[in-house]
């Protein structure tokens, strides 16, 4: 069960994406630029994370903004870095 749940975090772009979003909500355009990926590629990663309940989104006109769905996610990342990235 745990491996399947954590597999969604097994891609470097998704990890970087979540790290960026620990700073706050961002638009798809800003995220694509910061990550250096195309918006179509980013959309695939965003959809996976949204479908798993990790991200939440909101629309404002033609723009879509993403944020972390759970305020505990930055703590989770901090703990993972402390344990696994010494």
Give percent of the chain above pLDDT 70.
99
Residue 20 contacts residue 31 (beta carbons within 8 Å):
yes
Distance CA 10, CA 3 (A): 10
Architecture in CATH of 2-84: Orthogonal Bundle (1.10)
Per-residue pLDDT band for 86 (boundaries 50, 70, 90) equals: confident
Domain locations in the chain as residue ranges: 2-84
pTM of the full predicted structure? Answer: 0.88
**Span 7-33, pLDDT tens digits:** 888 899 999 999 999 999 999 999 999
Distance CA 34, CA 6 (A): 24
| pLDDT for res 1 | 55
Q: Is the pLDDT of residue 54 over 70?
A: yes
């Amino acid at each position: 069960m745990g491996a399947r749940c954590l597999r969604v975090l097994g891609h470097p772009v998704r990890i970087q994406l979540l790290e960026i979003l620990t700073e706050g909500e961002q638009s798809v355009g800003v995220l694509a630029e910061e990550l250096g990926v195309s918006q179509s590629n980013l959309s695939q990663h965003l959809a996976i994370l949204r479908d798993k309940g990790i991200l939440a989104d909101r629309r404002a006109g033609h723009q879509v903004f993403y944020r972390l769905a759970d305020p505990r996610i930055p703590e989770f990342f901090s703990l993972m870095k402390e344990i696994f990235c010494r």
